[in-house]
């Protein structure tokens, strides 16, 4: 009796059993992975969307570089949420570290995405079209027909047609002389790269504007001159790399400020502004000859590389304050800020020269004043038909807080309101040319006349030319990428011997393929065939018409030489 032997050796486990150990990535591997993720197009689009979302607070909340007074007012009115928003830099969105991080990551992502694509596209431009496939009837669009002439003659004619249609041809292959390969549409990828490169230029130009650009705003009453110095601006927002002491020197004198209002129409158009024009005298350097220039809303001045815009206008009443002895304590054109379409304006007259206490007046300027029983003092028309000042008076320490103040507001923390003998707050109603006596021997106040002021905004943007060029280039690249199709056309030419001996015939199998969805590809083949027929004569059908076509009974389809059979083989 024979017993079966037992193999006690361990059986190796089959592949796939047991744990699989993955190789660990080192620091270099993780760095390559992070770089691939950052430079992917998906990440670039995500960062672009994130940048747009991050810019939303800058358009909703007041920004310090535009209007610091509004930021201070917002913080005063929102004692709880305001400080937290300030800690998150939401009042300095475009100068915040988190916004700059998104901005720089987007720039790096686009650069890292464009450079390899540019290298690959350059290689593709230098590469020849691919070989002709063996079975052309399997391509998405194809047609078969017979034309007069030998394969060499037909190939020359077909090459001529494709060149005229801006196809790039593959050199004849000695091993397959009856095949033809051509392609076009490389400019589509050129347009894509142009668009992304232009986007990089625009982003870099905007960054240059923030780093090396600056903006200053100033109010210039008619008849006065403004000099471009750091102390001459009402608000100045220089970039991190801008030295305020080296601003370009120029001067702007506002000779006249003319504003035209609609006074003939009725309804909502009554009082609407029609034109804003400031006649100015400018100089670009000390000792330079002055120039007479006209400044309007859509016609800025160009001075020493900067652009001077007319952004606003209003009224600057000329107020004179005298003490009890008749000495002039204050005489200036004081700007008042318009609040509505009828130029109901708020402002403050500050008299620091008064002694022993300083005087301050705050209230309204009304170009065409009237007293409304409900609303009180109002203006019913924006032009100066019946101007008046409605003021209240304070006295004390005007600068008790030590902080800078807006030209339009009066800080009354260290001041007390002046009252009449009966204890009621003092109300002053001033009209041009009338002196009003202040109570308690404080002197007089007079509204001498009413001047206009021009609100000027001076901007220096070193990247605006590059931003414009980048925007135009991006538009051109987008048009190229949307209108150009990447197509490849292949042909196989075989001599035909089944026709009567009236001359050589050639059977042509023409096929095309597109990189993306291209519903116009069959029509492109039809155009190539039509152009070939003009050179060689009408094509001859070599197969029945395409019975799958919805127009199978049409005369053109009965010709049978342009059947695009989606199933692959001609019937």
User: Using an 8 Å Cβ cutoff, are 383 and 367 in contact?
Assistant: yes
The Cα–Cα gap between 218 and 306 comes to 14
pLDDT higher than 70, residue 51: yes
Q: What is the pLDDT of residue 21?
A: 55
Measured CA to CA in angstroms, residue 501 lies from 154, 486, 497, 498, 505 at distances of 18, 41, 8, 9, 9
Tokens 């394969």 belong to 151
* Mean pLDDT within 354-364: 90
Higher pLDDT, 408 or 49: 49
Share of the chain above pLDDT 90, in %: 53
pLDDT at 20 (0 to 100):
54
The model's pLDDT over 254-307, given as tens digits with 9 standing for 90+, comes to: 999 999 898 887 777 888 888 899 999 999 988 889 999 999 988 999 999 999
DSSP class of residue 232 equals: G
- 3-state SS assignment for residue 16: coil
C-alpha distance from residue 272 to each of 275, 278, 455 (Å): 10, 18, 19
Predicted pLDDT of residue 73:
76
What's the pLDDT band for 565 if we cut at 50, 70, 90?
A: very low
499 pLDDT more than 80:
no
In this predicted structure, what is the pLDDT of residue 234? 85
**For residue 45, how far is the Cα from the chain centroid?**
16
Mean pLDDT of 170-195: 91
- Listed in sequence order, the residues at least 6 apart from 71 whose beta carbon sits closer than 8 Å to its beta carbon are 62, 63, 64, 91
Span of 147-151, 262-266, 519-523 with lowest mean pLDDT: 262-266
CB atoms within 10 A of CB 112: 17
Contact 446, 196 (CB under 8 A): no
DSSP state of 473: H
DSSP-based three-state secondary structure for 307:
strand
Closest CA to 360 of 318, 404, 321: 321
For residue 285, the model assigns a pLDDT of 84
| Three-class HEC string of 51-73 | HHHHCHHHHHCCCCCCCHHHHHH
Please state the domain extents for the chain: 32-124, 130-184+486-558, 191-211+464-480, 214-263+270-460
Q: N- to C-terminal Cα distance for the chain? A: 74
Cα 559 from Cα 555, distance rounded (Å):
7
Q: What are phi and psi of 547, to 5 degrees?
A: -70, -15
CA–CA distance, 100 with 108 (Å, rounded to integer):
12
pLDDT at position 457 is 92
Compute the distance between CA of residue 155 and CA of residue 25 in angstroms, rounded to an integer. Answer: 55
- Beta bridge partners, 295, equal 278
* CATH 3.90.1580.10 fits domain 130-184+486-558: no
pLDDT at site 286:
82
Instruction: Please write the tens of the pLDDT for every residue from 19-44.
Output: 555 566 678 888 888 888 888 888 88
Please name the residues in contact with 124: beta carbons below 8 A apart, sequence gap of 6 or more.
186, 189
Task: State pLDDT tens for residues 427-462.
Answer: 999 999 989 999 988 999 999 999 999 999 999 999
Q: Measure the CA–CA gap between 542 and 510, rounded to whole angstroms.
A: 14
Q: Return the higher-pLDDT residue of 2 and 395.
A: 395
Tokens at 549, concatenated: 């076509």
Tell me the pTM.
0.70
pLDDT for res 12? 53
**Residue 403: its pLDDT value, please?**
65
Q: How far is CA 436 from CA 90, 205, 299, in A?
A: 47, 56, 42
Give the dihedral of Cα atoms 408, 414, 420, 425; nearest 10 deg.
50
Confidence class of residue 493 from pLDDT cuts 50, 70 and 90? very high
**pLDDT digits over 202-220, tens only?**
999 988 988 899 999 999 9
Label residue 370 left, alpha or beta by phi (over 0 means left) and psi (-120 to 50 means alpha): beta
Q: What is the mean pLDDT of the chain?
A: 85
Long-range contacts of 346-353 (CB under 8 A, 24+ apart): 346/408, 347/407, 347/408, 348/407, 348/408, 348/409, 348/410, 349/319, 349/321, 349/391, 349/445, 350/398, 350/410, 351/321, 352/398, 352/399, 353/329
Q: Which tokens belong to 302?
A: 């160009």
- Give mean pLDDT, residues 234-258: 91
**pLDDT average, residue stretch 484-503:** 83
> Does the structure show a pLDDT above 90 at 2?
no
């Amino acid at each position: 009796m024979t017993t079966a032997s037992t193999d006690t050796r361990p059986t190796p486990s089959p592949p796939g059993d047991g744990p699989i150990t993955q190789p660990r990535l080192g620091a270099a591997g993780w760095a390559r992975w992070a770089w691939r993720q950052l430079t992917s197009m998906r990440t670039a689009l995500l960062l672009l969307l994130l940048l747009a979302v991050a810019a939303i607070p800058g358009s909703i909340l007041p920004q310090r570089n535009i209007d610091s007074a509004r930021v201070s007012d917002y913080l005063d009115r929102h004692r709880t949420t305001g400080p937290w928003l300030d800690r998150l830099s939401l009042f300095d969105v475009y100068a915040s570290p988190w916004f700059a991080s998104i901005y720089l990551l987007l720039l790096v992502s686009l650069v890292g995405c464009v450079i390899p694509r540019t290298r690959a596209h350059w290689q593709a431009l230098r590469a020849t079209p691919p070989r002709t496939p063996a079975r052309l009837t399997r391509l998405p669009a194809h047609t078969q027909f017979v034309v007069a002439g030998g394969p060499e003659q037909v190939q020359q004619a077909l090459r001529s047609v494709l060149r005229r249609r801006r196809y790039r041809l593959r050199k004849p292959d000695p091993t397959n002389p009856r095949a033809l390969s051509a392609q076009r549409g490389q400019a589509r990828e050129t347009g894509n790269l142009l668009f992304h490169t232009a986007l990089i230029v625009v982003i870099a130009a905007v960054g240059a504007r923030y780093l090396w650009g600056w903006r200053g705003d100033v109010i210039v009453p008619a008849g006065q001159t403004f000099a471009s110095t750091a102390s001459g601006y009402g608000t100045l927002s220089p970039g991190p790399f801008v030295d305020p002491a080296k601003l370009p020197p120029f001067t702007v004198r506002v000779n006249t400020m003319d504003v035209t209002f609609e006074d003939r129409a009725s309804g909502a158009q009554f009082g609407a502004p029609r034109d804003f024009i400031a006649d100015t005298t400018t100089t670009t350097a000390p000792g330079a000859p002055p120039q007479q220039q006209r400044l309007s809303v859509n016609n800025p001045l160009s001075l020493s590389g900067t652009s001077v815009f007319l952004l606003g206008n209003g009224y600057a009443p000329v107020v004179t304050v005298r003490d009890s002895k008749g000495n002039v304590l204050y005489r200036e054109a004081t700007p008042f800020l318009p609040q509505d379409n009828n130029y109901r304006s708020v402002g403050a007259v500050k008299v620091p020269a008064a002694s022993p206490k300083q005087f301050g007046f705050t209230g309204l300027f009304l170009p065409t004043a009237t007293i409304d029983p409900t609303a009180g003092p109002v203006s019913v028309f924006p032009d100066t038909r019946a101007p008046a000042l409605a003021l209240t008076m304070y006295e004390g320490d005007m600068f008790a807080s030590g902080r800078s103040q807006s030209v339009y507001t009066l800080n009354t923390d260290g001041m007390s309101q002046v009252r009449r003998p009966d204890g009621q707050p003092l109300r002053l109603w001033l009209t041009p040319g009338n002196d009003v006596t202040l109570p308690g021997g404080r002197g007089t106040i007079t509204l001498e006349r009413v001047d206009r002021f021009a609100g000027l905004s001076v901007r220096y943007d070193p990247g605006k030319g590059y931003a414009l060029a980048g925007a135009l280039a991006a538009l051109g690249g987008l048009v190229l990428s949307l209108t150009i199709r990447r197509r490849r056309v292949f042909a196989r030419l075989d001599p035909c011997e089944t026709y009567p001996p009236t001359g050589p015939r050639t059977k042509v199998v023409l096929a095309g393929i597109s990189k993306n969805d291209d519903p116009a590809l069959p029509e492109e083949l039809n155009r190539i065939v039509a152009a070939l027929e003009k050179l060689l004569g009408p094509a001859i059908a070599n197969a029945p018409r395409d019975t799958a076509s919805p127009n199978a009974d049409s005369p053109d389809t009965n010709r049978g030489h342009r059947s695009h059979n989606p199933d692959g083989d001609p019937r």
